[in-house]
């Protein structure tokens, strides 16, 4: 069991050669708890953050080193925002970084009916990829729909990438050996391999219909989806079945190939300099309104909770211009 626990906070890429399908298995444990311990979310909000985090880890593993992938869910319900950031590793063999947060109305959320996902309401599911300085960011948006964030992610790939894609995710709390409650999340992503290997960043016509599969490809895709539906909750979320064991249990007849796993750590990129840069859009009058009686401007990072106390001198676009 210790060996399996050491495989948490990882994404395991794989390929099913007989079905021409690629995929990833991920589990989050320590990273997820670090994310949620930064906040005091209601359980239903934490569950949506956990699902968004595991989806982001599964998708993020596909991006190149040093790129940043963000998932943003925004709605008109009491659970207004769920946002995640995945930072690709800075070098081969290094861990990726993951962070997440949510915004909700504490007054209306308890009175709202429905599941945590339904409390997001009508809105959008967006994926943004920052390729670095000098490169145009990629953005894809689809409407919220279905019964979960996983359904939204599937709809995104069908609409924006024209790639048949399935997600199976689960998040929940369990007791640790110390008797404390802790969060765990697990997920599997399957994706039919494109014949022409189009990039996830390739521009596509929004009116283009999803790629149609040949009869053989459709049969293969249906078969692996049926196998995916047999996964049990205890297998998906662990901690008694390792990711390679789970892969073989589900797809042993599909000639699975396993690739190098990607380690994930909690990571936040906030800094005092970035806060000052954010403040540069405000006028001196705006900065004056933000200044506390103690003569400082304060700001909190939504992701990690870091508290910044800044000198109002030098903040705002007018101060930047004067300097």
Q: What pLDDT, in 10s, does the model give residues 308-317?
A: 787 877 776 5
171 plus 293 within the same structural domain: no
The CATH number of whichever domain residue 310 belongs to comes to 3.90.1280.10
Say if CB 162 and CB 208 are below 8 A apart: yes
132 plus 183 within the same structural domain: yes
pLDDT of residue 27: 96
Q: Is 83 strand, coil or helix?
A: strand
Chain centre distance of CA 91: 21
pLDDT of residue 151: 97
231 plus 313 within the same structural domain: no
Residues 50 and 82: their CA atoms lie apart, in Å, by 10
Q: Which long-range contacts (CB under 8 A, 24 or more apart) does 63-68 make?
A: 63/88, 63/129, 63/200, 64/88, 64/131, 65/89, 65/90, 65/91, 65/92, 66/90, 66/132, 67/129, 67/130, 67/131, 67/132, 68/129, 68/130
Q: Is 199 strand, coil or helix?
A: coil
Which of 266, 290, 308 lies at the terminal end of a domain, its last residue?
266
Residues 192 and 169: their CA atoms lie apart, in Å, by 18
- Domain with 294, as residue range(s), is 272-322
315 plus 198 within the same structural domain: no
Say if CB 48 and CB 102 are below 8 A apart: yes
The CATH number of whichever domain residue 113 belongs to comes to 3.55.30.10
> For 17-26, 67-76, 232-241, which range has the lowest pLDDT when averaged over its residues?
232-241
Q: Which of 25, 8, 7 is nearest to 16 (CA)?
A: 25
Residues 128 and 172: their CA atoms lie apart, in Å, by 27
* φ, ψ at 4 (rounded to 5°): -70, -40
Query: Which residue stretches of the chain are H helix?
Result: 2-5, 30-37, 43-60, 149-156, 215-228, 233-237, 243-251, 272-279, 284-290, 317-322
Q: What is the 3-state secondary structure (H, E, C) of 215-246?
A: HHHHHHHHHHHHHHCCCCHHHHHCCCCCHHHH
Q: How many CB atoms lie within 10 A of CB 86?
A: 26
pLDDT of residue 318: 53
Percent of the chain scoring above 70 in pLDDT: 88
When divided into structural domains, the chain yields a total of 2
Q: Which whole number is the average pLDDT over 23-44? A: 94
Which of 266, 285, 306 lies at the terminal end of a domain, its last residue?
266
201 plus 241 within the same structural domain: yes
Question: Tens digits of per-residue pLDDT, 188-220?
Answer: 999 998 764 333 333 333 333 455 678 888 999
Question: Tens digits of per-residue pLDDT, 86-122?
Answer: 999 988 889 999 999 999 999 999 999 999 999 999 9
86 plus 107 within the same structural domain: yes
Residue with tokens 């806060």: 275
> For 48-52, 151-155, 182-186, 318-322, which range has the lowest pLDDT when averaged over its residues?
318-322
pLDDT of residue 320: 52
316 plus 222 within the same structural domain: no
Better-predicted residue by pLDDT, 264 or 93: 264
pLDDT of residue 224: 96
- Residue 297 pairs in a beta bridge with 310
Q: Which two tokens stand for residue 283?
A: 């006028």
164 plus 310 within the same structural domain: no
Put simply, whether the predicted model's pTM sits higher than 0.95 gets the answer no
Q: Which of 176, 70, 55, 58 is nearest to 130 (CA)?
A: 70
> For 53-62, 230-239, 259-268, 306-315, which range has the lowest pLDDT when averaged over its residues?
306-315
169 plus 74 within the same structural domain: yes
Q: Angle at which helices 43-60 and 149-156 pack, to 10 degrees?
A: 30
297 plus 158 within the same structural domain: no
Residues 88 and 59: their CA atoms lie apart, in Å, by 11
Q: How many CB atoms lie within 10 A of CB 62?
A: 18
188 plus 104 within the same structural domain: yes
312 plus 225 within the same structural domain: no
């Amino acid at each position: 069991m210790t060996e399996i626990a050491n495989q948490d906070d990882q994404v395991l890429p794989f390929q099913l050669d007989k079905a021409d399908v690629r995929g990833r298995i991920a589990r989050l444990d320590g990273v997820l708890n670090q994310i949620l311990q930064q906040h005091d979310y209601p359980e239903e909000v934490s569950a949506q953050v956990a699902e968004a985090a595991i989806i982001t880890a599964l998708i993020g593993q596909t991006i190149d080193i040093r790129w940043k992938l963000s998932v943003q869910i925004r709605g008109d319900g009491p659970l207004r925002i769920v946002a995640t950031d995945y930072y690709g590793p800075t070098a081969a063999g290094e861990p990726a970084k993951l962070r997440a947060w949510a915004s909700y109305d504490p007054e209306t959320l308890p009175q709202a009916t429905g599941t945590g996902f339904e409390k997001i309401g009508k809105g959008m599911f967006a994926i943004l990829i920052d390729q670095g300085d000098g490169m145009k960011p990629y953005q894809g948006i689809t409407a919220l729909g279905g019964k979960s964030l996983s359904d939204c992610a599937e709809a995104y790939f069908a609409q924006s990438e024209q790639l048949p894609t399935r997600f199976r995710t689960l998040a929940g709390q369990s007791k640790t050996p110390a008797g404390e409650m802790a969060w765990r999340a697990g997920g599997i992503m399957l994706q039919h391999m494109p014949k022409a290997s189009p990039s996830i960043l390739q521009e596509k016509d929004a009116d283009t219909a999803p790629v149609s599969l040949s009869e053989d490809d459709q049969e293969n895709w249906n078969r692996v989806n049926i196998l995916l539906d047999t996964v049990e909750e205890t297998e998906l979320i662990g901690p008694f079945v390792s990711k390679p064991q789970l892969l073989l249990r589900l797809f042993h007849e599909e000639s699975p190939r396993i690739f190098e796993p990607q380690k994930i750590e909690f990571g936040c990129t906030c800094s005092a300099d970035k806060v000052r840069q954010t403040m540069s859009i405000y006028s001196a009058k705006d900065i004056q309104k933000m200044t506390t009686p103690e003569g400082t401007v304060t700001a909190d990072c939504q992701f990690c909770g870091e508290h910044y106390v800044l000198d109002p001198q030098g903040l705002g676009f007018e101060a930047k211009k004067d300097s």
